Structure 1
Amino acid sequence: MASNRSIFEQLLDKYDTALAKAFFKGLDAIKSDVTLRIVVERLERGDIPGAVAAIQVEREAFSGLEMVLAEAYNAGGISLVENLPRLKDPEGNRVIFRFGVRDYASEAFLRDHSAELVTRIVEDQKVAIRQALETGLSEGRNPRSTALDVIGRINRASGKREGGILGLTSSQERFVASAREELLSGDPKLLRHYLSRQRRDKRFDKTIAKAIREEKPLTAETVTRMVGRYSDRLLELRGEMLARTETMIALGTSRDNAMRQQIDNGKVGASDVKKIWRSAGDGRVRHTHRVLNGKAVEIDGVFHSASGAVLRYPGDPQAPASEISGCRCHMEYKVDYLASVVRRAA
């Protein structure tokens, strides 16, 4: 029988892949539906709000993301109850553990968290787009080039747009803007700083080194390609972190709710359940979670991170982003089944 850790890892791998795919599919839909001419015309009039609206970043584009999140939530709760040990009541009947995705806590989570997640993605996108358009026009780039810097340029081989800032957070869009400034500056110091960016495409490093050595500026076309690849790599990171974090939130929350359902249904006593924090057990685990590894609390207890944060379980959506972003820990629920049987018989 597979261990709880391996079962959890399988779910984590499956659904963070599916969530990332749904996120990128939503972005591709937005990019493919953009009418470039309208965006450019509005920029030519200086109508930045109109240009942002013309790109049509809407929550409906991410409906697939919400559906996968619900699937991950359901799978997490089902996997927990399916792997609880077999137990018989005092009369010898088998105790059946089931997970109900339509209970109040589950429906509230799926409704509220999904809505908050997609709203956050959409609103932050609009901020990032507005920032990019304002920067492009203020720096004197023509409206068409500015629009393409946002929505990306079509790759003739794939037929898809690449290199834009759609999908990036507003903070990441600022990274792209500053990277472009460095590459266009011709300043050796700023070019060297660009070479320190971890998400740059290192295939261009020799080109930049030559520009520094010969003290010649990079061409605008070359800079566009470099910035495009940098944007793509930041977007890849964005998708990975978003998917991993949201999968952890869905699985962690559903597993906790699944155990609480068994308690509410009288199948397990609350006092007989312990929560044990289990880290992923490798060098990528954040220090605050390595310290928590193996610590146990009651079902209603919380874990106190060295950062000062309080977590009910790994992926707790109420915890700070710094404690859940990219987390791969999981919660082990240890039940004193003998005590529960004795209590039911009393």
Structure 2
Amino acid sequence: MAASIADLIDAWAPRLQRAFLAAIADIQDKAQIGVIAALLERGDINGAVEAVGLDPVAFRALDATTAQAFEDGGTFTVARFPALRQPNGHRLTIRFDVRNPSAEDWLQDHSSRKVTEIVDDQRVMIRAALTAGMVAGRNPRDVALDLVGRINPATGKREGGTIGLTAHQEEWARRYADQLARLDPAALTRQLRDKRYDGTVRKAIEQGKPLKADQIAKMVLAYRNRALRYRAETIGRTEAMAALHQSQHEATQQAINAGQINPTHVEEIWRTTIDGRERDTHREMNGQRVRRGQPFVSPSGARLRYPGDPQAPAAETVNCRCYVEVKVDYLAGVR
């Protein structure tokens, strides 16, 4: 059983990660490779992009999982509020209403913006990848397969494609391929490379003997696979942070609106996971206390309602592992 919002984040992040990867796999499976290749043959990049079949509906599972995490976070929050009893001894029950208009509005707006961001970025990335392949004079079908991915005989699933990567990640993959082709030692510094190939690359550099095309293809395929996993992990963590902290915020506000909690008795505490991987700004924020309705303030000047706040700069939120502890002191006004 979860002991804190941090535990819930750890539990929901991989579920959101899997939901994103499932959406990408669905798009890959339904992409019309033959049509994409034929359109590229005719120089119709726009048509090829459309033939990929990007559809926001493919991310419905991601939306649903986000909603489930949101409800779990709200239920968890109210369950941790101190017991409040009436003079006759009756215990007041505080429940989280996921159908509350404010809660539903946040979920709808957040999910819509997130899916739109993903789809829009995918279109930019796909167009750039297809254009780069054709400018290089490559076979249209090979370009299409590089985009969608090739079926792994062992798993029966497509892998190594660019679908799912950000535009920046696909650019990284192309640069990595170029470095390998030129025997540039910088290829050995790429963080997302598969280090099992390092020996082969070093040997080729030392001997000045170019890598074979199929060797480069395997290395780039592995790079893209790792890049996709990294992106999925980032989305899973970021979405879990946003959904759970917003539901914590919403649940507290519902209790305040119902008159079950006095907002002046609510204190929020920023907790940072200190393990050497934390942001410098968040390390300094560890233990920062604010009254309900007041933002946390980062040394960078950014103001955050909670860790992972979608309204805060990405530099303060992406892959954040902090959480907020909410404390309610019912005796604050009678001491």
Into which bin does the TM-score normalised by the smaller protein fall? over 0.9
Correspondence for 1:272: 265
Q: Which amino acid aligns with 2:303?
A: V
SS in 2 for 1:276: strand
Give CA deviations for 1:99-142 in whole Å, capped at 9, x if unaligned. Answer: 11111220111100000101111111111111111111111111
Correspondence for 1:94: 91
Whether 2:70 is the aligned partner of 1:77: answer no
Correspondence for 2:281: 288
**How far apart in 2 are the matches of 1:319 and 1:91?**
45
Give CA deviations for 1:199-252 in whole Å, capped at 9, x if unaligned. Answer: 101111111112111111111111111100000001110000110000000000
- The unaligned stretches of length 5 or more in structure 2 are none
* Aligned partner of 1:181 among 156, 178, 181: 178
> How many residues were matched structurally?
335
Q: How does 1:26-41 map to 2 (within 5 A)?
A: 26-41=23-38
Q: Which amino acid aligns with 1:210?
A: K
Q: Which amino acid aligns with 1:172?
A: Q
Correspondence for 2:16: 19
Correspondence for 1:143: 140
- The unaligned stretches of length 5 or more in structure 1 are none
**How far apart in 1 are the matches of 2:46 and 2:320?**
37
Does the 8 Å CA contact 1:276/1:295 hold for their aligned counterparts?
A: yes
Moved over 6 A (4+): none
The CA deviation at 1:281 is: 3.0
Whether 2:290 is the aligned partner of 1:297: answer yes
Q: Which amino acid aligns with 2:149?
A: G
Correspondence for 1:106: 103
* Aligned partner of 1:309 among 280, 283, 302: 302
Task: Choose 53-62 or 283-292, whichever is displaced more.
Answer: 283-292
Does the 8 Å CA contact 1:270/1:299 hold for their aligned counterparts?
A: yes
* Aligned partner of 1:195 among 166, 188, 199: 188
Correspondence for 1:167: 164
**How far apart in 1 are the matches of 2:324 and 2:87?**
29
Does the 8 Å CA contact 1:303/1:310 hold for their aligned counterparts?
A: yes
Does the 8 Å CA contact 1:253/1:315 hold for their aligned counterparts?
A: no
Q: CA RMSD in A?
A: 1.5
Does the 8 Å CA contact 2:126/2:147 hold for their aligned counterparts?
A: yes
**How far apart in 2 are the matches of 1:16 and 1:168?**
18
TM-score of the aligned structures, taking structure 2 as reference length: 0.97
SS in 2 for 1:338: coil
Q: Which amino acid aligns with 1:110?
A: L
SS in 1 for 2:138: coil
**How far apart in 2 are the matches of 1:105 and 1:314?**
20
